Amino acid sequence: MAQVRKCDVVIAGAGPAGAAAAARLVAAGLETVVLERSSPEGRSPCGGVLSPLAQARVASILGKAAHDMDMYSDAFTGLNFHFPSSGNAFTASFKQGPARRVTRPRLDNLLMEASGAEVFSPMEVVSINNATEHLEVHARGPEGQSVYHCRALIGADGAGSTVRGLVYTGLDTGPVFRALRTLHRVIDNPLDPSYVHVWPDTRFGLLAWAHAWGERMVVGLLRQEGQDVSELHDELMERLEEDHGVRLAPPDESADGRVFIGPAITNHYILGKGRIVLTGEAAGFINPPLEGLSTALSTGAIAGDSVAKALKEGSEPSLVYRDFVAEEARNCTDMWNATRLLFGSPHEADIRAGFNSMSQDAQHAVGNDLMRYMKMFKKYGWGWRMIWQGLVRLVLGRYPG
């Protein structure tokens, strides 16, 4: 017979979003249990670069200043955007100090330990029953099945969220994307190591990036599931060598994982129902590379605060969460909105200043590159929606719907 455990809140997922939620719930005096389906040593495709804002959010959980943490290494002053088709490039500096690299498993473990929540791993949610008095969460681990009776459930279990699939049976989440991260020994690297280098180029899928990793280099690419990842990676390696003189040894290690970008691009987040809340990438919150951890930490904390408030007042957690997370949803979609990037300042890196630093001819050429790049989204049914949303946001200061 399955063991039954009673608690206030169950969180599925022990990543940054789950840890941020757990920290807020424990601080509110709620008994919180975290179920993590992966083993602690599981690798994430995330490169582990924390923006200045993400560093501040990490520090708020750990209770110490970012510069006092020995887990941080390489510092990056900004982003360097490359447009191979026109031969142009520009840099965008971070406004609030450098981004820093961290090892993701260590960061995740530190954040969860600091939260004070009880963690069971590996343990995956397999079913949810919505009883009158409580939620009944069934989970399976190496020693069999356990049952948790709780007042609320937070799904913070990433792009391939099991909780989302159980709550929204048959939901069409749109095209599936994957991120590949490889780590290489450097033979020769003329690229400036103080920047993270980004290529918005369909030859590499959707997007490619590279940055220093101590004496080595991380190379990443984002592509639609089903595309030949070996072919895309080989093309990127060739372009790095031919266009930039970068020569790398074969990868020492790699990680490949699902990325859920559709909701952020289309401003259509999946936030949960009733006593069940979805947060982080499970809900569709993901920023472009180098900012993902920031929105995971932010939305996780908002989910924790929302559930704590709802349980205290006897209201529905998902409704409170929808109100609390609205501003973060707008900020997240702004990160993918071309008009906001060029005419506003949503990103922590000053992209508009970098773009304006180029000559008018170069700006025109990059503008044409971006317009051709945006046409790629047409095949996903996002093209006109992105343009319409961008115009409404520009004129009215909000997104439609």
pLDDT of residue 39: 57
Taking each helix axis as running N to C, give the angle between helix 104-115 and helix 52-62, from 0 to 180 degrees, rounded to the nearest 10. Answer: 40
Tokens describing residue 103: 């090892």
Q: Comparing 257 with 71, which gets the higher pLDDT?
A: 257
- CA–CA separation, 101 vs 73, rounded Å? 5
pLDDT of residue 65: 47
Nearest 5°: CA angle at 141, between 136 and 145?
45
16 — pLDDT class (breaks 50, 70, 90):
very high
**What's the rounded mean pLDDT across residues 102-108?**
82
* 124-159 pLDDT tens trace: 999 999 988 899 999 999 988 999 999 999 999 998
pLDDT of residue 41: 47
The total of other beta-carbon atoms located within 10 Å of residue 256's CB is 12
* 301-331 pLDDT tens trace: 999 999 999 999 999 999 999 999 999 999 8
Domain boundaries, the chain: 3-65+103-173+263-333
Q: Assess whether pLDDT exceeds 70 at residue 64.
A: no
Cα 48 to chain centroid distance, Å, stands at 11
Nearest 5°: CA angle at 257, between 142 and 238?
145
Tokens describing residue 284: 């569709």
pLDDT of residue 244: 95
CATH of domain 3-65+103-173+263-333: 3.50.50.60
pLDDT of residue 43: 46
* 128 burial level (CB within 10 Å; 0-12, 13-18, 19+): buried
pLDDT of residue 291: 59
Nearest 5°: CA angle at 308, between 306 and 312?
115
Which of 86-90, 251-255, 375-379 has the least mean pLDDT? 375-379
CB neighbours of 300 closer than 8 A, spacing ≥ 6?
A: 16, 17, 18, 19, 20, 21, 156, 279, 280
- CA–CA separation, 54 vs 162, rounded Å? 26
% of the chain surpassing 70 pLDDT: 94
**What are residue 118's DSSP bridge partners?**
33
**What's the rounded mean pLDDT across residues 165-182?**
88
The total of other beta-carbon atoms located within 10 Å of residue 275's CB is 21
Angstrom distances, CA of residue 13 to CA of 33, 36, 180, 258, 385 = 10, 5, 21, 15, 32
* 336-381 pLDDT tens trace: 887 787 777 788 889 889 999 999 999 999 988 888 888 888 888 8
Average pLDDT, the chain: 88
pLDDT of residue 105: 81
% of the chain surpassing 90 pLDDT: 53
Q: Assess whether pLDDT exceeds 60 at residue 268.
A: yes
pLDDT of residue 340: 81
* 21-60 pLDDT tens trace: 999 999 999 999 999 988 544 445 566 788 888 888 888 8
**What are residue 138's DSSP bridge partners?**
127, 147
Q: Comparing 225 with 354, which gets the higher pLDDT?
A: 354
Which of 68-77, 223-232, 301-310, 391-400 has the least mean pLDDT? 68-77
Instruction: Give residue 147's identity as a one-letter amino acid code.
Output: V
**What's the rounded mean pLDDT across residues 237-262?**
90
Q: Would you say 257 and 159 are in contact if contact means Cβ atoms under 8 Å apart?
A: yes
